[in-house]
Chains A and B, each alone.
Chain A
Amino acid sequence: MTMTNPNDDMLDDLFAQARAQPPGSPSDDLIARVLADAAGVQPAPSAHVISQPGLWSRIMDTIGGWPALGGLAAATVAGIWVGVAPPTPVSDLTAHLMGDVVTVDLFSATLLLDTEALGDG
């Protein structure tokens, strides 16, 4: 069993009147105050500082950074090493492609001591 409060009708009518009130548009003054508040606390746009990179930075960027630089250094050392002391397979390949290896002894002791040959000239 439910009891009906005699004031329910009045309350329901009051609620209905409140909901029926035309919502007033915010005044220009209120909008200005709200926007001023917003401007006062809004974070600044994140600033992107553009600085001119230095020569070293540009070189590094060009070649691809530290990993690429490490690879370049390793390849350079390997090239020098192969030139100074070529492994046998490399020597054989060179001989095959370019002919036999010819060793020229610019300071041959035999030639230097062959004074006769010089004198005959």
Chain B
Amino acid sequence: MTSSPDPFADASDAAVLVAFANGDGQAARVLTTRLLPQVLAQATRLLANPSEAEDVAQDAMMRLWKFAPEWRQDEAQISTWLYRVVANLCTDRLRKRRSVALDQVAEPLDDSPSAATRMQVQARMRALSDAMAALPDRQAQAVSLRHLEGLSNPEIAQIMDISVRSVESLTARGKRALAEVMEGRKAELGYDDDEPE
């Protein structure tokens, strides 16, 4: 039998968080390695802005550190809790965007096809994020968790602490509103009338 160099190799996130609250010197790095990539990815998908996403990720992790002493192991999973925190922080950011001009994507720096394609994808992601900003917070959270994170309705219900039926309603209304917001930008984003690229 070999001994693992990672003292938390078999420990749950919650157990490592308890160790952090007890002053363990390695717990913060272990939790950061485990949780930060997912936190950053969620924020990036919803905000489509690396700098803002990093700020949200840092803020979400800070809330985890501060909440650690009060964490009870029988509470929701840490990943579920973080989905909720990141969704809330992102919708706070989106709300502030509503008064800002929608199209602020930088122009491509070169004319190569790959660069143009990359910039078009970035423009689309930013447009989608800005359109999400036009939705009510709860709709934006439900739509992002369903369609950007790919979570199931029961998972979203647990994260948002609402019923599955409410999730279905929020996502349906949110997606409908999103389609209306995006309608005027189809040509600009490179979508023909009938076939998406």
Contact = CB atoms under 8 A, between A and B. Distances in A.
SS class of chain B's interface: helix, strand, loop or mixed? helix
B28 A38 contact: yes
A44 interface: yes
A8 B175 CA distance: 8
Contacts of A9: 195-196
Contacts of B66: 41
A42 B148 contact: no
B196 A13 contact: yes
Contacts of A67: none
B98 interface: no
Contacts of B40: 23-24, 26, 30
Contacts, number: 117
A43 B193 CA distance: 58
Contacts of A18: 45, 48, 125, 128, 147-148
B176 interface: yes
B136 interface: no
Nearest to B21: A43
A33 interface: yes
A45 interface: yes
Contacts of A6: 193
SS class of chain A's interface: helix, strand, loop or mixed? helix
Given A18-B148, A27-B54, A42-B65, 7 more contacts: A11-B175, A14-B125, A18-B147, A24-B41, A34-B61, A37-B61, A43-B68
Interface of A: 5-15, 17-19, 21, 23-27, 30-31, 33-35, 37-39, 41-46
Interface of B: 20-24, 28-29, 32, 36-38, 40-41, 44-45, 48, 50, 54, 57-58, 61-62, 65-66, 68-69, 121, 124-125, 127-128, 147-148, 150, 175-176, 178-180, 182-183, 186, 189, 191, 193, 195-197
